[in-house]
C-alpha cells in the first residue's frame, strides 16, 4: 500500500565512496551540516534526484561533522557543497572510433571530480550535470 521512496545514501566514512566510484556510474556527493538552512533545502533536492536517477547514478549525502577527513580531502569551505565524481567522456576522432570498434578495446580514464558548487544549486542544473556524465532518469 505504501511504498518507501528511495533516498540518498548517507555515508559515515570516506572509504564508503570507493566502491561507488569504481562502479563507473557518476557519484553526486552533497556535503552538509546539521542546522544549516540551505543544507535542509538541498536535502530535499538531493533525495528527489536519488529517486529520479535510481541505479544509473549514486546520490550520496555526507555530514561533514561526522565524516572524518571530508573537509580536508574535498577542500570544503562552506556548506552545502555538492561534488560530482565521474569518468571523463571519451573524445575520439571518427578514424579512432572506427578503429576502436574493430578491436573492441576501450581505454577508460579514472574517475575524477567533474563538477563542484557551494551553496544552493538548482535541481535542473544538477540534472544536467548528472546526465552529461552518463546518468539517465528511470521511469517511476
Residue 78 φ then ψ, to 5°: -150, 155
d(CA 130, CA 42): 16
Please, which residues bridge with residue 29 across strands?
Answer: 60, 83
Q: Are strands 112-118 and 58-63 parallel, antiparallel or unpaired?
A: unpaired
50 pLDDT exceeds 90? yes
Measured at the alpha carbon of residue 69, what is the angle toward residues 22 and 126, in degrees to the nearest 5?
55
Q: What is the pTM of this model?
A: 0.85
Give the chain's mean pLDDT: 89
Grouping H, G, I as helix, E, B as strand and the rest as coil, residue 120 is coil
Percent of the chain with pLDDT over 70: 84
Amino acid at each position: 500500500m505504501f511504498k518507501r521512496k528511495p533516498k540518498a545514501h548517507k555515508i559515515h566514512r570516506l572509504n564508503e565512496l570507493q566502491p561507488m566510484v569504481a562502479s563507473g556510474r557518476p557519484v553526486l556527493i552533497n556535503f552538509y551540516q546539521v542546522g544549516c538552512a540551505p543544507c535542509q533545502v538541498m536535502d530535499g533536492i538531493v533525495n528527489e534526484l536519488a529517486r529520479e536517477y535510481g541505479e544509473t547514478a549514486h546520490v550520496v549525502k555526507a555530514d561533514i561533522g561526522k565524516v572524518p577527513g571530508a573537509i580536508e580531502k574535498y577542500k570544503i569551505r562552506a556548506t552545502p557543497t555538492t561534488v560530482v565524481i565521474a569518468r571523463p567522456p571519451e573524445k575520439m576522432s571518427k578514424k579512432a572510433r572506427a578503429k576502436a570498434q574493430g578491436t573492441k578495446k576501450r581505454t577508460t580514464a579514472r574517475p575524477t571530480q567533474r563538477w563542484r558548487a557551494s551553496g544552493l544549486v538548482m535541481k535542473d542544473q544538477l540534472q544536467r550535470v548528472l546526465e552529461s556524465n552518463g546518468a539517465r532518469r528511470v521511469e517511476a
